[in-house]
Amino acid sequence: MPTVHTFHALAYIENFSLKELATHYPESKRAHQYLCYSAAAGGNVFIYSFGVVVFFDVGQAGREGELLRLRHAPTGMLDAQIISEEFTVREVDVARPDVADGALVVDILTFERASMVALTVAQSAAMEYYERIVDQMFADTDVFVERLEKRGNISIFTAKLQRFIGAAISTRSEVISVLHLLDKPDVVWDDAGAERIYEELRAEFDLVDRYQSLELKQRSVQESLSLLTDIARDRRLVFLEASVIVLILVEILLSLLRR
């Protein structure tokens, strides 16, 4: 009978400070972008800096206990869970790793391979979170575009538009910095079978295409907003020029009246 392993990922709004969490989990091992430790009920927990917690072979009761412990951590702010994702790995006697029926099939799941699976599931959960943000940005951009379409202009007060552009730029930078989709995990270079697992997981979660789609959407939003900003700036310049002309006319009129 195959041995079945489960990975549960929970993504949250805010990122985690691994430095602060390390003091709360003295038994944990800290890597570049995550903490890992053994759960009290069995299994392992991975806490990623980009706001995702992954449980590896931890039951429901164990997950609830670990989340309660995390809420009491210095950065505990888990009232805003956004995304949950689950993935299964089966250990069977196979010639090479493969994905079948939505589950990864491997000959043996070492801890190093498990950490790679956990990272991929965490990336997928984080990706879905950012996909929702970008989709909302598209909807918000339509509000500005609809005004331009219906009225032929936009408001000369651009503070709201500028804040929105700042949020779009910040989101794009965060996506690039935290997902690390183009970087292969170190285990790939040390384990011949790990690279096959890595490629299968990327294909299963469609990470590359989703990442590229996010990039295109964010670029489209930024270009639209930049164009709207230019239009608003031009309108403000026209308004300013008209105000100067009116003031000059008023000054001339007052001079004539004084005579």
Q: How far is Cα 18 from Cα 30, in angstroms, rounded to an integer?
A: 8
- Cβ-in-10-Å burial (0-12, 13-18, 19+) of 146 comes to exposed
- Cβ-in-10-Å burial (0-12, 13-18, 19+) of 89 comes to buried
Considering the chain, what percentage of its residues have pLDDT values greater than 90? 22
Q: What pLDDT score does 114 carry?
A: 92
| pLDDT tens per residue, range 217-237 | 877 777 777 777 776 666 666
| pLDDT tens per residue, range 30-64 | 887 889 999 999 999 999 988 899 999 999 999 99
- Rg of the Cα atoms in the chain: 26
Contact 118, 51 (CB under 8 A): no
Cα distances (angstroms) measured from residue 105 to each of 95, 207, 257:
10, 19, 92
Q: Mapping DSSP to helix (H, G, I), strand (E, B) and coil, where does residue 24 land?
A: helix
